[in-house]
Structure 1
Amino acid sequence: MTDFAATKAMFDLPEGVIYLDGNSLGPLPRSTPARLDSMLREEWGKLLITGWNKAGWMAQPMGLGDRIGKLIGAEPGHVAMGDTLSIKVYQALASALELRADRKVVLSDNGNFPTDLYMAEGLLRTLGAQYELRIVAPDEVEAQITEDIAVVMLTEVDYRTGRKHDMAALTAKAHSVGALTVWDLAHSAGALPVDLAGAGADFAVGCTYKYLNGGPGAPAFIYVAPRHAGRAVPALSGWLGHAAPFAFDLEYRPGTGVERMRVGTPPVMQMTALECAMDVWDMASIEDVRARSIDLTERFIAGIEAACPDLELASPRDAKLRGSQVSFRFADGYAAMQALIARGVIGDFRAPDIMRFGFTPLYIDGDDVDAAIAIIADVMNNNLWDRAEYKVRAAVT
């Protein structure tokens, strides 16, 4: 049984703040500053370039990959870390398309995160006019998985509403017509149990700065199913994905399995910070996290709907159909969210009208939820958001 009071104590949370935005950026684990200081002084400072061997920097991408793999139901040795989520989306989609070279259509939905669609558009444009990115409504995806589809590319949990796709069912449907799947787990990893192996997923990608608490700029991960790992050739054939990087061959030879998906130099400082976050995850069960998340989100929805009639629930009402976030619609949602942040309740806003709140049981509890409800009710019912300074859009919303 996970001790959530103990995990909460592992984070450095500002006094007077209720942090409901861990679905966008997780907070700082208390151990991270000292560990980074040690890495900088004792490893980089004293070992210099020998740190790649002596401090194990080169092995971090696969070691961390296995630690994250346990949270997403991946087979050992089939998750690699590094680069950004956009890069990993590109790699996974390109490899999947090459494995289905006789088909030219990528199917996605309009709830997908825009960068995934942008990466797909760019890739397909370079491949030629015969390729098509087909975008449908989320509830139309299953019916649109037909025999002309090469790849179904979806984000499991919708970043705006928290709506959750049925990974196992959609993957099975894709396979029934000969298509492959690429799953984006940006709002799943660390939020709910994922079973990539059990669902038969082909490729998956995700970031580590949200629910996994790796910090701003933390590296992304990529999963390649064992049946594809020896055949999938990365379009971005980086030096560290080579079979023997230090042989300095002029021609690319793919490395073993998912290691061939490594591209650039590992971001050692970011991976060191992520290791601290994963130490906290070693204290928790993802099943316990999911159960507590459902309790917290149900409590929040009931409280907000009772106290704030101007807010309209945008997330699925059935907890089984949503991730670990709750979204409400409000026409002046940006201003309202800025007013809440000024009062110490930090969520975020997604255009055009979504007020989004993330629930991360590692450091959010029932008292936090109740306090947040009271502040939100005060701000909304007394129109405290209706001030000029709250309506000025910042670069990040």
Structure 2
Amino acid sequence: MTNRADVEKLDASDPLAPFRERFALGSDENLIYLDGNSLGRPPKSTLARLRAAAEEEWAGQLIRGWSHWIELARKAGDVLAGGVVGARPGEVVVSDSTSVNLYKLAAAALDARPGRRVIVTDDDNFPTDQYILAGLAEARGLELRRIPTDIDTGVTLAGVREALSDDVALVSLSHVAYRSGAIADMHGITAAAHEAGALMLWDLCHSAGSVPVPLTAANVDLAVGCTYKHLNAGPGAPAFLYVRSDLQPQLRQPIWGWFGQRDQFGMAGDYDPVDTIERFLVGTPPVPGLYGVLEGASLSAEAGIDAIYAKAQGLTDLMVSLHDEWLAPLGFTLASPRDAAQRGAHVTLHHPQAWQICQAWQAEGVIPDFRTPERLRIGPAPLYTRYADVFEAFERLRDLVQEGRHNAFPAERSRVT
């Protein structure tokens, strides 16, 4: 598919095309944004909701606004559960950051498996996940067992099975690999963890809002995820956590805050957490961020995750085809699964000069991402990225590398990036 007219036909028949107009796209018509898997564009409804929250609710209602603000974490969680991550109402709540939520759920899971001494993750899991788990292991005198993983093809069921034993308390992995986009076998890996008597904790940061996430169908125990990537909730928007309903009364998270207390406004001195998902809350929630999550998640739920994933496969298949024809002869190699069924909503390309190429591509009006080692990570967003955008972006990339324009950029990364 290297004909511009054919690509434009794909856009003309795209059922998600009307959603593009529901985002604030900025005034630079030359800009092509291919980093939606790091930070999504703002929905117009979110901007309107935030203005109303400030000008009408905060300014007009003052403290009285808490009569409905206090329910936002659960309300947004239910939208995520039913429309985004394949869970049941009351199993998801919006709270804190992904890292804090991972710590809370991992600590609770370890407490629920006393006597077991091993945490399993993989050596290409997102760094903060590895840091959190390593910190817990060091503090408790446990072993952190890292599965060796191919950074381009991702963690496998066979690799997980090999790492399991009857002393494993917790398995914690990413559903979609942050570097390559490889999708892990949620059903198979969760079942394998359960067979070993361990609890399973999934990181959904690169899958929530981009691919189907079968939490209930796979009988997943625990999960965390962010909202500012594919869910377009805004920079630094609060994350979410999932706890299967039957586990909620059994698990006690380590940060005892008043938003998890049974009689919150009774101001009792002893901690008595509720039995519902709210027991995993801690302190006062960020209201503007919650509105961002509610609007962004509602937009994704309206579009439908199956439709979003189908377009993600189409967009990334187009990238793979253009790579094969245009970029492979220029020294690029595909660093993501070739099979669309094994790949999330982004494609990663390797090139020895990836950093220079990344800077040159940005100078050409295309915003991708860079990941070590020597990789361009390219994340279209099905709700607002067109097939023609991908075609044009890759055409610019081919031309700048053919002409050697990337050689004018520094070969070393600066610390701030």
Q: Which band: TM-score by shorter chain? A: over 0.9
From 71, 77, 80, the equivalent of 1:65 is: 77
Give 1:371's aligned residue: 392
Which deviations, in whole Å up to 9, do the C-alpha atoms of 1:352-389 show, x marking residues without a partner?
Answer: 21110012210112111111110110122222111145
Contact 2:353 2:411 in 1 (8 A): no
- SS of the residue 2:303 aligns to: coil
Q: Does 1:200 align with 2:200?
A: no
Contact 2:228 2:237 in 1 (8 A): yes
Q: Distance in 2 between matches of 1:81 and 1:2?
A: 32
Q: 1:391 offset after TM fit, Å?
A: 4.7
Give 2:152's aligned residue: none
Give 1:84's aligned residue: 97
Q: Does 1:318 align with 2:330?
A: no
Q: 1:390 offset after TM fit, Å?
A: 7.2
Q: Does 1:266 align with 2:280?
A: no
Q: 1:33 offset after TM fit, Å?
A: 2.2
Q: Which amino acid is the alignment partner of residue 226 of structure 2?
A: C
Q: Distance in 1 between matches of 2:86 and 2:292?
A: 23
- SS of the residue 1:28 aligns to: coil
Pair 142,345 (structure 1): closer, same or farther in 2 beyond 3 Å: farther
From 98, 111, 114, the equivalent of 2:127 is: 114
Q: Does 1:246 align with 2:258?
A: no
Structure 2: state its 5+ residue gaps. 1-12, 149-154
- Bigger mean CA deviation after superposition, 219-228 or 244-253: 244-253
From 332, 344, 351, the equivalent of 1:330 is: 351
Contact 1:212 1:277 in 2 (8 A): yes
Contact 1:160 1:327 in 2 (8 A): yes
Give 1:33's aligned residue: 47
Q: 1:345 offset after TM fit, Å?
A: 1.2
- SS of the residue 2:405 aligns to: coil
Q: Distance in 2 between matches of 1:348 and 1:68?
A: 26
Give 2:314's aligned residue: 295
From 208, 211, 228, the equivalent of 1:209 is: 228
Q: Does 1:48 align with 2:62?
A: yes
Q: Which runs of 4+ in 1 moved over 6 A?
A: none
- SS of the residue 1:151 aligns to: strand
Q: 1:394 offset after TM fit, Å?
A: 5.4
- SS of the residue 1:349 aligns to: strand
Q: 1:273 offset after TM fit, Å?
A: 2.0
- SS of the residue 1:371 aligns to: helix
From 143, 146, 163, the equivalent of 1:135 is: 146
Contact 1:67 1:278 in 2 (8 A): yes
From 112, 130, 134, the equivalent of 1:99 is: 112
What is the Cα-based RMSD across aligned positions, in Å? 1.5
Contact 1:106 1:152 in 2 (8 A): yes
From 199, 206, 214, the equivalent of 1:187 is: 206
- Bigger mean CA deviation after superposition, 214-223 or 338-347: 338-347
Give 2:241's aligned residue: 222
Which deviations, in whole Å up to 9, do the C-alpha atoms of 1:239-277 show, x marking residues without a partner?
Answer: 111112211112211123211000121110111122222
Q: 1:219 offset after TM fit, Å?
A: 0.5
Q: Distance in 1 between matches of 2:15 and 2:326?
A: 31
Q: 1:283 offset after TM fit, Å?
A: 2.8
- SS of the residue 1:197 aligns to: coil
Q: 1:31 offset after TM fit, Å?
A: 2.2
- Bigger mean CA deviation after superposition, 10-19 or 166-175: 10-19
Contact 1:157 1:323 in 2 (8 A): yes
Q: Distance in 1 between matches of 2:272 and 2:413?
A: 52
Q: Distance in 2 between matches of 1:278 and 1:75?
A: 15
- Bigger mean CA deviation after superposition, 382-391 or 262-271: 382-391
Q: 1:50 offset after TM fit, Å?
A: 1.1
Q: Distance in 2 between matches of 1:260 and 1:320?
A: 36
Contact 1:308 1:381 in 2 (8 A): no
Q: Distance in 2 between matches of 1:172 and 1:303?
A: 38
Give 1:235's aligned residue: 254
Q: 1:107 offset after TM fit, Å?
A: 0.2
Give 1:348's aligned residue: 369
Q: Distance in 2 between matches of 1:327 and 1:381?
A: 19
Normalising to structure 2: TM-score of the pair?
0.91
Q: 1:155 offset after TM fit, Å?
A: 0.6
- SS of the residue 1:385 aligns to: helix
Q: Distance in 2 between matches of 1:212 and 1:156?
A: 16
Normalising to structure 1: TM-score of the pair?
0.96
- SS of the residue 1:196 aligns to: coil
Q: Distance in 1 between matches of 2:189 and 2:292?
A: 35
Q: 1:330 offset after TM fit, Å?
A: 1.2
